[in-house]
Amino acid sequence: MNKKEYLASIYSMMEECDADFREEILADFNEHFEQGKMKGRSEEEIAASLGDVRELIEELKQEQHQRSEKKQKAKDSAEFRRVRVQGLTADVIVRPSQKDQVEYVLSDRGAQVNIHNYLIEETIHGDELLIEVKRRTHRLFNFDFANLILQVSLPQTLGSAVLQSVSGKVDLERIELAQLECKSTSGAIEVVDCSGDLKAVTVSGEITIQKHDGGRLELSTTSGDIEIQGNDFTMIRMNSLSGDIEVDCQHAEMIQMNSLSGDLQFQGAAKNISGNTKSGDVEISCEEAEAIKLESLSGDVELCLPDCTGMQCALKTLSGDVDIDLSQPYQFKRNYLIFGDESCVVSLKTLSGDITLRD
């Protein structure tokens, strides 16, 4: 059976279906044939791989019915305090809803026919709504080039949300909830113009936080970089095995940065800041500091304290140089560098790197 014959069979078996749905399916199958031909398959091979037309049509009719049911169910679901999204391999894109309801749609960047190998299950557990992308047990197509996108709209009346993807990215923008949690195994996590407590974990993806306002941040990645730009935070805790960490914030009560081999950078204001890396460099420019502890095994450590009224600072390097460039007179007392009111307690250590202290 060639492409023309296959599509004609589909059309004849879907005559009683909704016209828009029928045209969508025909367009999807047409695109699937075109993708297959680009990979060197004949029309007959593609048709054979798709399977029996009657079975496919029955599956698609059932899917149309499920779509209708789920749409109505979503409209009726008004009381959720928490939403959990499990996107499987899809990119999870989250934006604020203009209505007091949770909305979602699954699409594909390539051939929309790939969508029919997947389904979305919606279940309610107490006050939590679970939206889950799943592969069909019996796939409609024997080969799959899916590049899925799960778009979710969340009302600001929710208390919290958990957003997960295995290999896709998690992308949030303008979400204001008390608690947010993002997880991805190999995809990046990007959060823009949001607020509230945030926990983000990815194995190999990067974590990027831009224009975030308020709350506690707990960020962890194995090999990806972490980059933060925001306003006022209670606490920021960051861990990366081999990635770099870069933070720019207006104010934070506490900053904790840890990386095995990555560089650590901070610019802004923080009362308490600590940074530890084995082989990376540490570069900190901090205002309003009360306590600072920076360590690197083999990297350089550089600290700038503009407008500092005084400090007591422990400096320790085994084989590196120490460079002190302070505008105020200082002295060494009990192995500490001190000047002014000694209000800021500082510890700078590196085994083989250089230390630079300036204001």
Q: Over 306-331, what HEC string results?
A: CCCCEEEEEEEECCCCEEEECCCCCE
Q: What is the pLDDT of residue 259?
A: 94
What is the distance between the alpha carbons of residues 101 and 154, in angstroms, rounded to a whole number?
7
Q: What is the pLDDT of residue 12?
A: 81
- Judged by average pLDDT, the poorest of 21-30, 50-59, 110-119, 225-234 is 110-119
pLDDT band at residue 207, thresholds of 50, 70 and 90?
A: very high
Q: What is the dihedral of CA 112, 144, 119, 191, to 10 degrees?
A: -80
Residue range 241-258: mean pLDDT, rounded: 95
- Judged by average pLDDT, the poorest of 54-63, 204-213, 252-261, 323-332 is 54-63
pLDDT band at residue 32, thresholds of 50, 70 and 90?
A: confident
Q: Tell me the domain boundaries of the chain.
A: 3-63, 79-169
Residue 140 has pLDDT above 60, yes or no: no
Residue 37 has pLDDT above 50, yes or no: yes
pLDDT band at residue 139, thresholds of 50, 70 and 90?
A: low
What is the distance between the alpha carbons of residues 63 and 66, in angstroms, rounded to a whole number?
5
Query: 202 vs 10, 98, 100, 130, 266, CA distance in Å?
Result: 43, 30, 30, 21, 21
Q: Which amino acid is at 93?
A: I
- Judged by average pLDDT, the poorest of 42-56, 60-74, 207-221, 228-242 is 60-74
* Cβ atoms of 274 and 286 closer than 8 Å: no
How many other C-beta atoms can be found within 10 angstroms of the C-beta atom of residue 299? 24
Q: What percent of the chain has pLDDT over 70?
A: 87
Q: What is the pLDDT of residues 302-353, one digit of tens each?
A: 999 998 889 999 999 999 999 999 998 999 988 899 999 999 999 999 999 9
Q: What is the pLDDT of residues 151-164, one digit of tens each?
A: 999 998 899 999 99
Closest by alpha carbon to 286, among 234, 312, 256, 251? 251
Average pLDDT, the chain: 86
Residue 141 has pLDDT above 60, yes or no: no
Residue range 71-81: mean pLDDT, rounded: 53
Q: What percent of the chain has pLDDT over 90?
A: 57
Q: What is the pLDDT of residue 108?
A: 77
Closest by alpha carbon to 184, among 160, 208, 209, 201? 201
Q: What is the pLDDT of residue 279?
A: 93
Q: What is the pLDDT of residue 345?
A: 96
Q: What's the half-sphere exposure (Cβ side, CA atoms, 13 Å) at 129?
A: 24
Residue 92 has pLDDT above 60, yes or no: yes
- In this prediction the pTM is 0.80
